Amino acid sequence: MSTISIDPKELLQPALHNYLLTAIAPRPICFASTVDEHGNVNLSPFSYFNMFSTNPPIMIFSPTRRGRDNTTKHTWDNVQKVPEVVINVVNYPIVEQMSLASTEYEQGINEFIKAGLTEGKSVKVKPPRVVESPVSFECKVTEIKSLGEGPGAGNLVFAEVVYIHVREDYLDENQNLDTGKLDLVARMGGSWYCRAIPEALFQIPKPIHAKGIGVDRLPDSAKDSWVLTGNNLGRLGNFPHWPEQHVVLELRKSEKVMQILHDNRTNAQTCIDQLHQLAQQLLLDHKTEQALAVVVLADQVLKGG
C-alpha cells in the first residue's frame, strides 16, 4: 500500500484544517453557554472538546480563531470577562438546533432564542443551561491558554465541573446514564456527523483486572493467517490465559471440528483456513476461549498433531 507524506508547514491553513478535522473524528460536541459582563447570553457548539480529568473534573474546549479573518469568537471573549460556562451535551434530538446555533450571529444575539432552545437556570454559575440537553455541566473556568495568534489557532478553555444536571429520561434502571438512550452525535469532517445509535455500538472486553496473553504469543499460523484479521488477533491476544485443556478436547471432539479434520485430511492448509474461519465465527459469538482453542488446534494440525 502506498502512503503520501506531508509536512504540515507546507500546507495552506484550509488544507491542513481539512486533513486534521476529517482524520481526527468522530469528535464529541459540546454546547457552551456563556455570558458577557452585561449578562448577555451566548450559546455556541464546539467539537474541539473533551474530558481530561475526573479528579478534579476538568473539561477543555477550544474556541479557535476564525480562519477567514483571524477574529476571536464571542465565547472566547465572554469567558475572559466572566470565567464561567455551562457545557451541555449534544445528542440527536437537538443536532439540527445545534447546527443552527453555530451561525455567526452578531454580538449580543441570544442563540437560545434563534435555535429555539430553552434556558434553564443554573445553580452555581451565571450562564444558563440547555434544558433539552441530556446532561449539562456547570463549570468554573480555571485557565485560559492561547495556542497562537494566527487564523485557526486554538484557545484552550479549562472548565472545572462544579454542578451537574442529568435528565432522568436518559437513565437506566440503576440510575446510570444509558448509552443507548443518550443517542449522542459527533462531528466528522466537512458537513458530516455520526450518530451513536444501537446498531453502531459495540463492546470490547477491557484488560483491566487481568493481562491478555498478547498477539506476540499466538501461534505463527494464526499471525500469518489470511483469514484472521487484526481485530481477531487483538481479541485473541486480549484473553488472559491459554484455553483450558478440557475446552480444547471438547472442541476437537465436536462434530464441526471433526468434519473439518476429516474433509481436509490430505490438505493441511485448507484445514487450517477452515479452522480459522470457525475461530472467527466463535469470536463473533463472543466465545473467545473456544476461538483460542480452535487456533491452538489449527497449529497442532500444521505441526502434524
pLDDT tens digits along 102-151? 988 888 889 999 999 999 999 999 999 999 999 999 999 999 999 988 88
| β-bridge mates for residue 185, sequence order | 195
pLDDT digits (tens, 9 = 90+) for 18-43: 999 899 889 999 999 999 999 999 99
DSSP-derived secondary structure letter, 203: -
Tell me whether residue 121 is in a domain. Answer: yes
Tell me whether residue 3 is in a domain. Answer: no
Cβ neighbors of 263 (< 8 A, separation 6 or more) are 271
Segment holding 281, helix H or strand E: helix 268-284
Residue 75 has pLDDT above 70, yes or no: yes
Report helix, strand and coil shares of the chain as percent, to nearest 5.
Answer: 35, 25, 40
The reply to whether 245 and 196 lie within a common domain is no
The reply to whether 47 and 169 lie within a common domain is yes
Of 200, 225, 241, the one marking the end of a domain is 200
> Is there a contact between 236 and 283 (Cβ–Cβ < 8 Å)?
yes
Domain that holds residue 221: 215-302
pLDDT digits (tens, 9 = 90+) for 283-301: 999 999 999 999 999 998 8
The reply to whether 179 and 274 lie within a common domain is no
What 253-259 contacts at long range (C-beta under 8 Å, 24+ apart), as own/partner pairs, is: 257/294, 257/297
> Is there a contact between 25 and 189 (Cβ–Cβ < 8 Å)?
yes
Total domains present in the chain: 2
Tell me whether residue 206 is in a domain. Answer: no
The reply to whether 194 and 282 lie within a common domain is no
| β-bridge mates for residue 81, sequence order | none
The reply to whether 169 and 262 lie within a common domain is no
- Residue owning grid cell 504540515: 8
DSSP-derived secondary structure letter, 38: T
Residue 305 has pLDDT above 70, yes or no: no
**What is the value of pTM for the model shown?**
0.83
The reply to whether 162 and 13 lie within a common domain is yes
Cβ neighbors of 108 (< 8 A, separation 6 or more) are 36, 40
Domain CATH number, residue 49: 2.30.110.10
The reply to whether 151 and 220 lie within a common domain is no
The reply to whether 109 and 66 lie within a common domain is yes
- Residue owning grid cell 474433509: 263
